[in-house]
Structure 1
Amino acid sequence: MTHWSADYGWRGKVGLISTPVIENAHVELARVAPEGVGVYQTFPYVPNFRVDATNIKRAVEQLETSAAALGSAGVDIVGQVGTPFSFAGGTGLEWAEDISTKLEKASGKPVALMGLSIVEALQERGYKTVAISSTYYSRELSERYTQFLEAGGIRVLTIKNWVDQKRFPDEESVDGRNLWYPASYAYKSAREVAAEAPEADCIIMSGAAVHTMDIIAPLEADLGKPVISSDSAFFWKILSLLGVRETSGGWGSLLDSL
């Protein structure tokens, strides 16, 4: 095994623009990617950041600077963390596509947006209908997410957040968790939306602050259908852009398709 100090990232270096709060997409990608993929991160600065359209648009204003910094540092791929960044400013795909173009220009590197990666993964796999656990998203973001996916040709049969599912009494109490949530919330939530829409081609678990990677394969086994999360679609896109056609193993059907 190559010692990290010899040549970390010899297979490719990924620079993530993380959300303006502590989350662990970089740690999860480092677990999922095979040996030889290096993972780095930077942050936009938005004081008192919350997951809502106003704060996300404030963060978007800084993404080009973050992308330029990563490109200058020498990464091979730039990834933008945070699904709602792809639809906070618009209901179609144009907002996300414009961000992607600007980040590619700023960094000089290929770019993966987490939200846009979900649409691309669904289209690539031929899934036309979905049931969505929108986890900690507000109803406003859930509605925007529905419009975003449907603009990409994906029909949303049901979408429920954790307030809808009675895991929290209101949106304020969800925010009070400081974006840390147990995997059991995501697992049970996904099973509930799957039961509501048994005809769905695929189950979606959204939200990068939810640690989903360890529960995707068990969910697929239990539900008998594909499951895609924000992280799994994002990592699938990043590894595809790197030309890396494997993972460290056992992360669900989407990543197995590499």
Structure 2
Amino acid sequence: MSMVRGTCWNCQSKIGDRETICKTCSKIQPFAEGINYFECMGLERRLQLDLRKLERLFYELSRQFHPDFHHGKDETEKNISLENSALLNKAYRTLQDPFSRVEYLVFLEEGNKDSITAKIPQEFLEEIFELQETLEEFRSTENLKVREKLEGKLQEAQRMLESRLLDMEKRLFDLFGRWDGMIDSKDWLTGSRDRKLSIHQMKEILSYRTYYTNMIQDIQHLLQGNKERRQIRH
């Protein structure tokens, strides 16, 4: 529901950009058009969030908007409560998880939903190609001894990928602190170069993380399938 902000849709009293209840007539107001998830929750664009505070904010706002509390309201207010509640739920789900949170921040800063794609770290390119060959060989062979040997290699590769994934996530969380530090010092308002560099670094790690996560899932799927085949034989 698109409504002009600045005045209450019901009594035409002035309302602030982030006010969700009219102080004059107590009617629910729609979120401002184009509001982002951080603004929806009344937060700055921080990456290190207090999850208990986030949960408390979510439940406080949910009590205002949840349709169950507006049975006796007119259709306009019911529709506003439904739309506000839906947006609030999306905001909470996104900001609750650190990885979806930083992906959303990258989207806000770059304006491109598809900017994060799986990417192979160049320093591990040769190892990854060897692993891909092992995966392909494992898929294509029916020789039990060969599969057993390859299974050991894949288990070792999975442990290696999981270790690197943890290292990447640690680097990413370190960048969270750097980003929030810029907000605290207000450098993010004027230091566009540092701001863009931080976004670029986080985006790159997310791309690597996506690739590694996909590889780990492929290995797990193949190993699980091989385990089930052995159980059927016995």
Do the two structures share a fold, i.e. TM-score over 0.5? no
- Highest Rg: 1 or 2? 2
If each structure's strand is expressed as a fraction of its own residues, which one has the higher value? Answer: 1
TM-score w.r.t. length of structure 1: 0.26
Structure with greater proportional helix content: 2
